[in-house]
């Protein structure tokens, strides 16, 4: 398909998941749009989402009930205005997805003809889903719409290197974002992409940990770029660990959806003799047992694993029946079966793994960051919705609701005057001599984050992590300054920046709250506030 050269610089959206595609589809009628996908289009976090998307649709539900559940899960740090705004627009978000062709699981007697399920932390059934592969169903439908649109250009295997701001221009121009330097991964060259507006929709930072449910794309690119450009970053200490990821040597990132527990599956300890399955344990940690919010379940599993010296616990859904499991969880059933686990006949070995970044670049409800011309949406952004712990299935909803408001804000704003942008300068660098340096630093960073900045933390561990991150950061910055960039180097650079943000934020919080649990500060303070980091503050 041929695309006309736009009269003005296009809007550049960095990231091709649900947040980025939602912005593109709502905006393309008014502006030319370029969407950058770092890897192949199906490799982002959206396609991996299993459970579903919240919709306040049922007669037994209400906006206030959803706000209350979001607030309770967020452990006192949820911005109630944000939560109410998103809950209020949830039905509209579901209707829009249905109109885009998303094949949600049907129920003739359900609201909008949809089957709704329930997940941990929710008072009622309010999760619209497409069996147990909701993210892929949504992503595929929106990709089809984007590919059909004449005003949207998709660039696969293009990675943003850094934002182009006033400091790059070296002349008197208004402070704003003017575009991005982007690496054509296959071509091996960095191009200067002029943009009327840049939208960061790159997802979270799960790959900073050794064990994660996230795809390889989750390297905190947008958060790191926004931080380097001078934007505030908030609540980075709150990294959600999903309680149940498959424990298997051949499949280390398979998330076992929370909906399985929502439908009645139990968590079991291994038997004391190491053979077979032991007793349930969640009722010792929370009266809601397996339906407690994710932070409580993940911490309980971590506690029991360390107490009993075991590598995993079991998730038992055998009592639900083979027919039910195949109908409602076909993807999990099929993938486990390929690994020799028949979930209708045996429990699933599971462990917690890094899953969701509750913090990010600070934005308003239209996605605007501190830097004019720069927006952020989805897991890249911090809006206050998730507080200290994200309520299950609120993430996809946030992408759709705020993706629309972001597009409306950009479309209504006057187009900024363009500026001549400097080309990427490679005159002082050479080809990398030893890739092993990148691989080694990548492994060391992820391991130290897992060991020192995991589900349970101490001040001593955090300080030790910060010292080592400082050394790694120095090595990576030196490597970046002297050698041509590659995707691996850029991802490592972004990960180490995000690791520092996580650790510094954790050190600033002298309490245990939500996803942040400190042995040195086990109490929860009566009043607490978000953690906001600003460039130039002490330590940076």
N residues, the chain: 540
Q: How many Cβ atoms from other residues are within 10 Å of residue 397's Cβ?
A: 27
User: Choosing from 31, 118, 126, 294, which is the catalytic residue?
Assistant: 294
56: tokens are 């306040």
Strands 127-128 and 277-280: unpaired
Q: Establish whether 294 is a catalytic residue.
A: yes
| Rounded Cα gap, residues 184 and 301, in angstroms | 42
Q: In the structure encoding, which two tokens stand for residue 13, read together? A: 């959206």
The span from the CA of 118 to the CA of 259, in Å, is 7
Name which of 61, 91, 8, 163 is nearest 401 in CA terms. 91
Q: Tell me the pairing of strands 517-518 and 456-457.
A: parallel
Ordered alpha helix ranges (H), 173-293: 221-228, 258-262
Helices (H), 3-133: 18-27, 45-48, 63-73, 80-88, 90-99
The rounded distance, in Å, linking the Cα atoms of 368 and 366 is: 6
Residue 209 falls in which region: left (phi positive, over 0), alpha (psi -120 to 50) or beta? beta
Element (DSSP H or E) covering residue 492: helix 487-508
Nearest to 505 by CA among 362, 369, 293: 362
- 218 with 487: CB under 8 angstroms? no
> What gap in Å lies between CA 18 and CA 24, rounded to an integer?
10
Angle between helix 134-148 and helix 18-27 axes, rounded to 10 deg: 30
What are the distances in angstroms from CA 216 to CA 135, 143, 204, 213, 379? 16, 20, 11, 10, 15
Q: Which residues are catalytic?
A: 294
């Amino acid at each position: 398909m041929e695309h006309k050269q736009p009269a003005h610089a296009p809007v550049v959206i960095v990231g091709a998941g649900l947040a980025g595609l939602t912005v593109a589809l709502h905006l393309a009628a008014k502006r030319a749009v370029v969407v950058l996908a770092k890897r192949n289009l199906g490799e982002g976090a959206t396609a991996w989402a299993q459970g579903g998307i919240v919709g306040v649709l049922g007669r037994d539900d209400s906006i206030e009930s959803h706000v209350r559940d979001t607030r309770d899960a967020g452990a006192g740090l949820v911005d109630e205005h944000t939560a109410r705004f998103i809950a209020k627009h949830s039905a509209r978000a579901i209707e829009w997805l249905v109109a885009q062709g998303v094949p949600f699981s049907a129920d003739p007697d359900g609201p909008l003809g949809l089957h709704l399920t329930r997940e941990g932390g929710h008072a009622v059934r309010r999760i619209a889903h497409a069996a147990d592969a909701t993210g892929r169903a949504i992503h595929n439908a929106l990709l089809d719409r984007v590919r059909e649109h004449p005003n949207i250009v998709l660039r696969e295997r293009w990675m943003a290197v850094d934002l182009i701001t006033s400091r790059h221009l070296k002349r008197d121009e208004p402070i704003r974002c003017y575009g991005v330097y982007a690496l054509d991964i296959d071509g091996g060259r960095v191009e200067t992409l002029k943009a009327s507006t840049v939208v960061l929709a790159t997802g979270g930072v799960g790959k900073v940990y050794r064990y994660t449910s996230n795809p390889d794309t989750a390297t905190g690119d947008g958060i790191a770029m926004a931080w380097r450009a001078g934007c505030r970053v908030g609540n980075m200490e709150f990294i959600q660990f999903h309680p149940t990821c498959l424990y298997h040597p051949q499949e280390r990132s398979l998330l076992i959806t929370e909906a399985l527990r929502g439908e009645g599956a139990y968590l079991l300890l291994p038997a004391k003799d190491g053979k077979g399955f032991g007793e349930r344990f969640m009722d010792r940690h929370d009266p809601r047992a397996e339906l407690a919010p994710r932070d409580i379940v993940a911490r309980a599993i971590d506690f029991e694993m360390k107490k009993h010296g075991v590598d995993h616990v079991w998730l038992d859904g055998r009592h639900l029946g083979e027919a039910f499991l195949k109908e409602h969880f076909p993807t999990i059933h099929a993938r486990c079966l390929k690994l020799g686990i028949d979930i209708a006949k045996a429990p699933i070995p599971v462990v917690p793994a890094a899953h969701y970044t509750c913090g990010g670049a600070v934005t308003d409800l239209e996605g605007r960051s501190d830097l004019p011309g720069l927006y952020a949406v989805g897991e890249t952004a911090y809006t206050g919705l998730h507080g200290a712990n994200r309520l299950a299935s609120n993430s996809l909803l946030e992408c759709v609701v705020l993706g629309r408001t972001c597009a409306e804000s950009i479309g209504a704003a006057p187009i900024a005057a363009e500026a001549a942008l400097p080309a990427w300068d490679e005159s002082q660098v050479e080809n990398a001599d030893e890739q092993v340096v990148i691989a080694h630093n990548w492994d060391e960073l992820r391991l130290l984050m897992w060991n020192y900045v995991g589900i349970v933390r101490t001040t001593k561990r955090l300080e030790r992590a910060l010292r080592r991150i400082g050394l790694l950061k120095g090595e990576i910055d030196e490597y970046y300054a002297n050698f041509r960039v590659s995707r691996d180097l850029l991802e490592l650079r972004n990960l180490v920046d995000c690791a520092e943000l996580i650790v510094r934020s954790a050190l600033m919080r002298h309490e245990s709250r939500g996803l942040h649990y400190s042995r040195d500060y086990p109490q929860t303070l009566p009043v607490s506030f978000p953690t906001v980091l600003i460039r130039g503050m002490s330590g940076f």
